[in-house]
Chains A and B, each alone.
Chain A
Amino acid sequence: MQNGLEHSTTTRELPVSQQPEVDYVRVRFAGDSGDGIQMTGTRLAESAARFGNDIATFPDFPADIRAPSGTIYGVSAYSLNIGHTEVDTFGDETDALVALNPAALRKYLEGVKQNGLLIIDMDAFTERAITKTGFSTNPLEDGSLSSFRVLPLEITSNTEKALKETGLSAKDARRSKNMWTLGLVLWLFERSTADVEHWIEQKFHKKPDVAKANIMALQAGHLYGEVTDLPPDVSRYRIQPAPLMEGEYRSINGNEGMAYGLYAGATLADLELFYGSYPITPASPLLHTVAKLKELGAISFQAEDEIAAICAAIGASYAGHLGVTGSSGPGIALKTEAIGLAIMTELPLVIVNVQRGGPSTGLPTKTEQSDLFQAIWGRNGDAPLPVIAPAHPGECFDMGVEAAKLATKHMTPLMVLTDGYIANASAPWKLPDFSDPAYAPFPVKKATDPEGFLPYDHDPDTMARPWAVPGTADLMHRIGGLEKQAGSGNISYDGENHQLMTQIRAQKLEAIAKSIPPQHVESGEATGKLALLGWGSSWGPIRVAARRAELEGKSVSHIHLRHLWPLPPNLEELLSGFDRVIIPEMNNGQLATVLRSQMDVPVESVSCVKGRPFLVREIAKIIEDALGASS
């Protein structure tokens, strides 16, 4: 994945991914919730990233905490795409599926490509387990897997065997079967186990027995690949490092990036960060990450509910901190009235919505981008709220900084839309260099001078009002949710004043529109036959499909919105340079509807609300349908 916002200096184009198993390999681990699948996947991802590959990951776990073992709904999976070229999605299809039980095979077989590799733990294919899954016969024996390359291994018993001399019970030994599997997969990728061993030692430094067992299992899996004659159709993958920009990297997911970015943003604004939140999937890791920044001065507050979470953040902003609250759709719905209060009181506040499938409780662990209307329009009254959205995990940090900058510069609440995919997916991320001009401080100047002080006097450029915080002598004033008299901020029920204040609140967004970067083209030409317009996490599949099509000589450009509200002022002009503008979005056409209300350019919507990001081939199909196969 690429790094950073348009202002980042770390961007470089990587070659387009074209040939699977040559340019990139898509692996999926799947097993029971208790099999340690997420850990296995994360370790392979980390190892590949350290090796220098580009990666994209997609953890897919059940909403239930401990679903009954062996069931399909209890299957946990981790998909990753490892590339020498640029990989922006976890992949439409799986090149290699590791299935640790029949349920995992049943659930994910459909995603495996023709002639794909199936690594299967035979030991888990007992008659009872097979029947429980709904297979009528054993798929390893009934020929139903004939169009795949099957590698049935006794993973469980091999793990037990490898750990025999440790004296662990068979049950305890079996817990390390994920590490045995990982060892084998590392061998398959021609990678050593050293990075993972190092990680295990650190992770389990207080439990040396556990560390030892896991390392032994890991090495045994690796050795198995080395010494065993595998079927001739099983060949190893040789994915060279990707030509990434030089620098220091780590992997990061969107929630981590956003939490760190908000802290950085508050810091660059010369403010303390106050994060008020209530646990909700998939936004809770934001709270966890900020809570760990206490030594750095960040205050996190787990409130009694979503409303209290945002209200505490508003209180903190009023008292001079950067108040931030984070949640997902249902929680944002509860915060709605308080967002209106922040708009009325013109306080800086960042609201992060890690979107998930809706409406109502919807699909808590599945991704969607269907809260755009809610973000832009979901309040009583004329209540303008800026909305921005990062395109991928590596961009969340910079978006956190951007959010803090816009909120404080214009004295406004602001919403950041990420989603469950961006939040959980990880990618290599070039660590920020704070001496880079992109991270130039933007210290906030709070009001201190009583001379001519008016709490609702607006700066004509930014439309910010002065921020006079309690504790400041001689600037005492009262604010609240009732309409304000322009200037004095006193209560006003006057109609003319309400008209004026409504305009002022609208002008605040106009001021932001002037300050955001003009919309650029992500890939392709600035005019042409077809523009694919995206926002948020549809970035990856659109980017891959658009760049591939461009290589094939098609006239297709990718335009991606980071600033959704207000829209970049040049957007209409840019879009009018294309014969067709198609918006693939993970909702029922919300951005298309927004744009139709704002500009005179016809846009078409393609919707996908299946709880997962678009597939590359789905985008490719859009391009093909629009341009014809040979256009």
Chain B
Amino acid sequence: MTDLKPKDFASSLDVRWCPGCGDYAVLKSLHKMLADTGAKLEDTLCVSGIGCSSRLPYYMATYGFHTIHGRAPAIASGAKLANPDLDVWVFTGDGDGLSIGGNHLLHALRRNLDMQIVLFNNQIYGLTKGQYSPTSQKGMRTPSSPGGTVEMPLNPARFAIGAGSKFIARSIDTQAKVLGPILQAARDFDGTAFVEVLQNCVIFNDGVFDHLKDKKQGPDHTIVVEHGQPMVFGVNKDKGIRVKPGGFGLDIVSLEEDGVTEADLLVHDETNHALAVALAELGEKDGEPTVLGILFREQATEFGTASRIGLPEKPLSMTEKLIHLSATLRAAETWDVEEDAA
């Protein structure tokens, strides 16, 4: 065990995100969680792509690799496969992870290699000054969509489910009490853990999540799900989610008005795949809460473990390898040429 403090996980570089950026809060939660969990600096590797959030590795006192746009999951995969003892984190954004890097994210999630992918979703391209992103809301006016976007936004959690992800969680940048434990659980998960962080871009998309974050109104628009707990939410804990009676899907109910009791509500089962799909989509329509917490978690074969089957149990020495190689080369038909063959 180390006795590192959160600040020990901060590198000596000045953090250069815009004042008020949601990234600061995520960085702080991360430092705290790593310190609390006794992580070692030298065994922690932070890999990122391109974008505001991808600067994060520079602010970590761990090993870090700020790579190229969208490719962080691939580089992280190579590093983790080469050294399974590393604790590998990928930091990406909605543009980096879901647009230019969508393919890598898809395949990383489906493979289930033991690492954490934290996607900062601010629904905008920040570093390139405010163009719409794949998660921008329809109709959003930006320099590249002066008439408003006509594209349907992508829901990252739903994408992750579609890709076959085995750990899907969602949080809000500034809600350390939700985010901290999620980061911890993601780290503990033996597989690829996908964490979407709803993150405020103070310059180009300020306030897009305000209705979720608002201390007073927020609880009416969000629900933090916990495995085994009934799905109750609201400022007064008077709302809930139940299975649509006689139908298929979820219903948002008021505990007092609709004549339902807590016993009628759904109990969160994080291993229920169909439920995870429904939870991921909640919040897209008015009146629905956005679901935070661990939406889905299911233990499955970890890619690294599976792919190491067949490798030598311990690394071969140079001599052993050359002996094996000589034998392999001779597994084909060989023949001898004598000096006086001619």
Contacts and interface: CB of A to CB of B under 8 A. Distances in A.
Determine if chain A interacts with chain B. Answer: yes
Interface of A: 46, 49-50, 52, 195, 199, 240-252, 260, 263-264, 267-268, 270, 272, 274, 276, 292-297, 299, 301, 303-305, 307-309, 311-321, 323, 337-338, 340-341, 345, 431-432, 434, 441, 443, 469-482, 490-491
B34 to A, nearest CB: 13
B330 A431 contact: yes
Nearest to B321: A267
Contacts, number: 225
A247 B322 CA distance: 18
B65 interface: yes
B171 interface: no
B337 A304 contact: no
Given A249-B337, A297-B315, A320-B83, A313 B78 contact: yes
B164 to A, nearest CB: 13
Given A246-B341, A274-B78, 20 more contacts: A52-B341, A241-B337, A242-B341, A245-B337, A248-B335, A250-B333, A252-B332, A292-B328, A295-B311, A296-B328, A303-B74, A308-B71, A315-B74, A315-B82, A316-B78, A316-B81, A338-B71, A471-B43, A476-B61, A482-B66
A470 B83 contact: yes
B57 interface: yes
B127 interface: no
Given A296-B328, A304-B104, A52 B337 contact: yes
Given A267-B322, A315-B78, A338-B71, A296 B316 contact: yes
A276 B47 CA distance: 18
B329 A308 contact: no
A434 B322 contact: yes
B103 interface: yes
Given A251-B332, A477-B63, A472 B42 contact: yes
Contact of B79 (A245, A249, A319, A337): A319
Interface in B318-340: 318, 321-322, 324-326, 328-330, 332-339
B75 interface: yes
A294 B79 contact: no
Contacts of A260: 325, 328-329
Contacts of B263: none
B279 interface: no
B42 A476 contact: yes
Contacts of B83: 319-320, 469-471
Interface of A is mostly: mixed
Contacts of B50: 481
Interface of B: 11, 13, 41-43, 45, 47, 50, 57-58, 60-68, 71, 73-83, 85-86, 103-104, 106-107, 307, 310-312, 315-316, 318, 321-322, 324-326, 328-330, 332-339, 341-342
Contact of B13 (A268, A272, A490): A490
B82 A480 contact: no
Nearest to B62: A476
B64 A244 contact: no
Contacts of A323: 78
B77 A337 contact: no
A267 B339 CA distance: 31
Contact of B63 (A241, A313, A476): A476
A249 B334 contact: yes
Given A272-B315, A297-B316, A305-B103, A321 B82 contact: yes
Minimum-distance CB pairs A-B, first 9: A315-B78, A480-B66, A312-B78, A311-B74, A243-B342, A478-B64, A308-B74, A319-B82, A304-B107
Nearest to B78: A315
A592 B285 CA distance: 65
A381 B102 CA distance: 26
Nearest to B312: A297
A276 B321 contact: no
A337 B71 CA distance: 10
Given A251-B332, A434-B326, A301 B78 contact: yes
A316 B79 contact: yes
17 contacts: A260-B325, A267-B318, A272-B315, A295-B311, A297-B312, A304-B104, A308-B77, A315-B78, A319-B83, A431-B330, A470-B45, A476-B41, A476-B63, A478-B60, A478-B66, A480-B57, A481-B68
A341 B67 contact: yes
A577 to B, nearest CB: 35
Given A240-B342, A316-B79, A434-B322, A479 B337 contact: no
Contacts of A314: 67, 75, 78
Among A50, A321, A481, residue most surrounded by chain B Cβ atoms (within 10 Å)? A481
A340 B307 CA distance: 29
Contacts of B43: 470-471
A249 B336 contact: yes
A312 B64 contact: no
Contact of B325 (A274, A296, A319): A296
Contact of A267 (B47, B57, B312, B325): B325
Contacts of B106: 304
A427 B310 CA distance: 31
Nearest to A266: B321
B82 A337 contact: no
A377 B45 CA distance: 32
Given A246-B339, A320-B83, A315 B310 contact: no
B78 A311 contact: yes
B310 A294 contact: yes
B341 A243 contact: yes
A43 to B, nearest CB: 10
A471 B88 CA distance: 11
A482 B60 CA distance: 17
A241 B67 contact: no
B44 to A, nearest CB: 8
A469 B338 CA distance: 48
A603 to B, nearest CB: 37
Nearest to B339: A246
B58 A312 contact: no
Among A307, A337, A345, A490, residue most surrounded by chain B Cβ atoms (within 10 Å)? A307
Contacts of B62: 476
A155 B78 CA distance: 53
